Amino acid sequence: MTQSRRQLRAGLGYTALWVVGLGVFTAYPVLASVYYSFCDYSVLTSPVWIGTENYQRLWHDDLFWRALRNTLYFAVFSVPLGAIVSLSLALLLNQDVRGRPFFRALFYLPSIVPAVASSMLWLWIFNGQYGLLNFVLTPILGVVGLQPPIWLADPNWAKPALVMMSLWGVGNSMIIYLAGLQDVPKELYESAEIDGAGPWRKFWHITLPCISPVIYFNVLMGTIGALQVFTQAFIMSGGTDDGSPARSTLFYALYLFGQAFYQLRMGYASAMAWILFVIIVSLTWLATKLSARHVHYNR
């Protein structure tokens, strides 16, 4: 047996468990969901082939479009706000100030708090009667004769409340921005200062171009995450899939989960999952095309 063949066998032996796990727990479920999306399948009975009927029903499902609109609303507001807040924090924490490691840890900590625990905390903060937020806002708005909203109990304010809550977890993006900022060559700033450039011109003409791949990555990952928002809405709806109040927080993943595990319509839920996949791939392709001229990988 030649050495290359022995190395091939050794490599296959070391990766065999991973390959089996990938096939059983990832490849098979993905391929099975494609088949189930064309079936009437309730888990308890054998799947029955119905062609494209699930996709046709989705087209006429008002709740499907409601969930899609709610999810797009959340993504449109939470992704840009998250990018601005995390980049601003990274710029502040990149300054040479006293206690910098402490502040970095302080702003990163919320992002590692489990989603369930942070959701329970925000339930209290957004409580219309006893919440911390309204405790602060009531005397301020009272000066002009206004009352704060009841947030999660008001259909008009429930989604903005969840958008604000999403800023709680910007720590991961902040760390990635911070790493990108520290990789910007110092010589560029020194040359710009010699030419008389101020802080804004250095940020606009040096910092942003140099960290443009980092911005692109964070915005893309944020968009994918926002389109799959689930835990916060599920917990704040009391563990139901109705997206209360008045279905204002009925997000796409929540509706999909309800169809799959509450209504046992696995075929319908599989069709929803593949439509979401197509939406995410399309947006990723569009973002890549639109940002091609503004993302600089060579400095």
CB atoms within 10 A of CB 38: 19
The pLDDT, as a whole number, for residue 243 is: 86
Given 50, 68, 86, the domain boundary residue is 50
20 and 152 both lie in a single domain: no
Residue 11 lies in a domain: yes
In a domain, 298, yes or no: no
**125 and 234, same structural domain?**
yes
Domain count within the chain? 2
Q: Is the pTM of this model over 0.85?
A: yes
The residue with tokens 């300054």 is 95
- Indicate whether 17 and 116 sit together in one domain: no
> Residue 250 domain-assigned?
yes
| In-domain check, residue 299 | no
pLDDT of residue 239: 80
88 and 46 both lie in a single domain: no
Q: What is the pLDDT of residue 116?
A: 87
Do 172 and 26 lie in one domain? The reply is no
**Which SS3 state, helix, strand or coil, does residue 138 take?**
helix
Q: Do 43 and 82 share a domain, yes or no? A: no
Residue 48 has phi, psi (to 5 degrees) of: -115, 125
Q: Are residues 182 and 204 in the same domain?
A: yes
Give residue 179's pLDDT: 94
Residues 267 and 180 in one domain: yes
Amino acid identity for residue 52 in this structure? T
Question: Is residue 77 domain-shared with residue 149, that is, in the same domain?
Answer: yes
Task: Tell me what pLDDT residue 115 has.
Answer: 86
CB atoms within 10 A of CB 213: 14
Reading the chain (299 residues) residue by residue, the pLDDT tens digits are 678 888 888 988 999 999 999 999 999 999 999 999 999 999 888 999 999 999 999 999 999 999 999 999 999 999 999 999 999 999 999 998 888 899 999 999 999 998 888 988 999 999 888 899 999 999 999 888 888 999 988 999 999 999 999 999 899 999 999 999 999 999 999 999 999 999 999 999 999 999 999 999 999 999 999 999 998 889 888 788 888 888 999 999 999 999 999 999 999 999 999 999 999 999 999 999 998 888 888 66
CATH number of the domain encompassing residue 252: 1.10.3720.10
Q: How many helices (H) and strands (E) does the chain have?
A: 16, 2
Shared domain check, 46 and 65: no
The β-bridge partners of 281 are none
**Integer angstrom CA distances of residue 294 from 38, 211, 213, 258, 288:** 41, 11, 9, 40, 10
* 13 & 84 share domain: no
Does residue 23 share a domain with residue 41? Answer: yes
**Residue 19 lies in domain:** 1-50
- Residue 299's pLDDT is what? 60
